[in-house]
Amino acid sequence: MGSATIRTAILPVAGLGTRLLPATKTVPKELLPVYDTPLLQFALQEAASIPGIERLVVVTHESKKALEQYFDHDPALLRKLRRQKKHALANCLQQTGAAEGVETRFAYQDEARGLGHAVLCAARDVAEGPVAVILPDDLVLPTSCMAEMAQAYDPDRAGMMVAAMKVAPAEIGKYGAFDVLAQDGAVLTARGIVEKPAAGTAPSLFAAVGRYILPPDIFDQLARTAPGHQGEIQLTDAISALVPAHGLEGLRFSGQRFDCGTHEGLLAAGLWRRDDLLLPAAIAAQ
Ligand code: G1P
């Protein structure tokens, strides 16, 4: 098996975020803030925390121009903030976009054909070796889930790793569900992931969260993966097909995950960051 260095992080952000209309009529979902920080910025910070990361491939949609603009530098605003001695804000502005030394490429997904198809759209732009995939609307606080995964990842043991969390039986149908073979501390060994299982059929209550480390042949596998759940090309189907060749682990990460593609998730994440100030009782009860 090749090197474990993850050089590329893929950010699938082509979705139109219709669930969060009207906000998403003009503002891409990934630019919606948790308190004052866009979801995209959290994902960029997480990508930057992967040791050896060199490249970001942002799989977006032509209509989401503001998302691409977020990567532009604004030297005039930066100079103005420095002149006004607003150094904290200037530092904050300077840290937006891709981290230093990380190249950003944009790829385009024209049609909503599923997460697997979105990842496939990045194929031509990735660097050599395993890739990370980060779904920005799955926000994990306060630790970097991707850094935890990169540390736990050992391609000699399993070439694929997906973030895992335990959910209630009524919830598992909203996720990919791990088909678990064994559990050793935070690491699950799985024989596949079943995408959005029908009620009563989930192989476990361990749900896949939007953080993946995948081998380069995921792209060939995605190219031959037939449409699955809801007629879309599912990343989990391609992952399951590669288990005999690579092995699959789930990592029960230490942070808390918020589904920021929903109103409740976005709100809960915002309260979480200011939990000393806002609704401490509600937070404590979670
Ligand atoms: C996607 C994946 C699913 C995963 C989920 C996590 O589903 O297909 O396996 O559990 O993200 O958020 P989506 O939420 O895009 O329908």
pLDDT digits (tens, 9 = 90+) for 79-125: 999 999 999 899 889 888 888 889 999 999 999 899 999 999 999 99
CA–CA distance, 42 with 96 (Å, rounded to integer) = 10
Q: What is the residue with the minimal CA distance to atom 13 of ligand 1?
A: 175
List, for residues 67-83, the tens digit of each pLDDT value: 999 999 999 999 999 99
CA–CA distance, 3 with 141 (Å, rounded to integer) = 29
E strands present in 122-252: 131-134, 138-141, 160-166, 176-184, 187-195, 206-214, 248-252
Provide the residue ranges of all domains of the chain, joining segments of one domain with +: 8-15+24-285
> Taking Cα atoms as reference points, which of 265, 5, 31 lies closest to residue 141?
265
List, for residues 4-32, the tens digit of each pLDDT value: 899 999 999 999 889 999 999 999 999 99
Is the Cβ atom of 176 under 6 angstroms away from ligand 1?
yes
Amino acid at 109: Q
pLDDT of residue 281: 43
Distance 208 CA to ligand 1 centre (A): 7
Contact 28, 106 (CB under 8 A): no
Contact 256, 138 (CB under 8 A): no
Number of CB atoms found within 10 A of residue 274's CB: 12
Number of separate helices (H) and strands (E) present in the chain: 10, 13
> Taking Cα atoms as reference points, which of 167, 149, 166 lies closest to residue 158?
149
CATH code, 8-15+24-285: 3.90.550.10
pLDDT of residue 133: 98
Q: What does the block give as tokens for 204? A: 């476990």
pLDDT value at 1 more than 60: no
CA–CA distance, 222 with 236 (Å, rounded to integer) = 10
pLDDT value at 258 more than 90: yes
Q: What does the block give as tokens for 244? A: 């005999």
pLDDT of residue 283: 40
List, for residues 183-227, the tens digit of each pLDDT value: 999 999 999 999 999 999 999 999 999 999 999 999 999 999 999
What's the mean per-residue pLDDT of the chain?
92
User: Closest ligand 1 atom to the C-alpha of 210?
Assistant: 6
Cis ω before 142 (30° cut-off from 0)? yes
pLDDT of residue 56: 98
The pTM for the full model equals 0.93
**Ligand 1 pocket test, candidate residues 16, 18, 115, most atoms within 8 A of CB:** 115
**Ligand 1 pocket test, candidate residues 30, 135, 194, most atoms within 8 A of CB:** 135
pLDDT band of residue 2 (cuts 50, 70, 90) is very low
> Taking Cα atoms as reference points, which of 214, 212, 206 lies closest to residue 164?
206
Number of CB atoms found within 10 A of residue 222's CB: 27
Q: What is the residue with the minimal CA distance to atom 5 of ligand 1?
A: 175
Mean pLDDT of 259-277: 80
pLDDT band of residue 3 (cuts 50, 70, 90) is low
Q: What does the block give as tokens for 4? A: 């474990």
- DSSP, collapsed to helix, strand or coil, labels residue 10 as strand
> Taking Cα atoms as reference points, which of 107, 104, 111 lies closest to residue 123?
107
Q: What is the residue with the minimal CA distance to atom 10 of ligand 1?
A: 175
Is the Cβ atom of 210 under 6 angstroms away from ligand 1?
yes
pLDDT of residue 275: 52
Contact 19, 262 (CB under 8 A): yes
